[in-house]
Amino acid sequence: MINGLNHSFSPNYNCILLENFKLFHIHKLLSIGKDHLKRIWNLYQKQFFYHKFIILESVLN
């Protein structure tokens, strides 16, 4: 009987585990320091503008 109950509740339990896992990862992402996020954003901006400059330069030449 106990095995039957465990089996019937296992999909819900797996769903709860999955939701907790997602929430844990969201929390980990949000807990990254603002300075670190700014650094990542600045690197992204530099790369983006660098690629735009190369494309513009190749079009002009």
Asked whether residue 39 falls in the same domain as residue 25, the answer is no
pLDDT at 45: 74
Which residues form the domain of 55? Answer: 33-61
Asked whether residue 1 falls in the same domain as residue 26, the answer is yes
pLDDT at 6: 46
pLDDT at 43: 79
CA dihedral 47→52→54→58, nearest 10 degrees, is 160
Q: How many domains does the chain have?
A: 2
Asked whether residue 39 falls in the same domain as residue 61, the answer is yes
Asked whether residue 23 falls in the same domain as residue 46, the answer is no
Does the structure show a pLDDT above 60 at 5? no
Tens digit of each residue's pLDDT (9 = 90 or more) over 14-49? 566 666 666 666 666 666 666 777 787 777 777 766
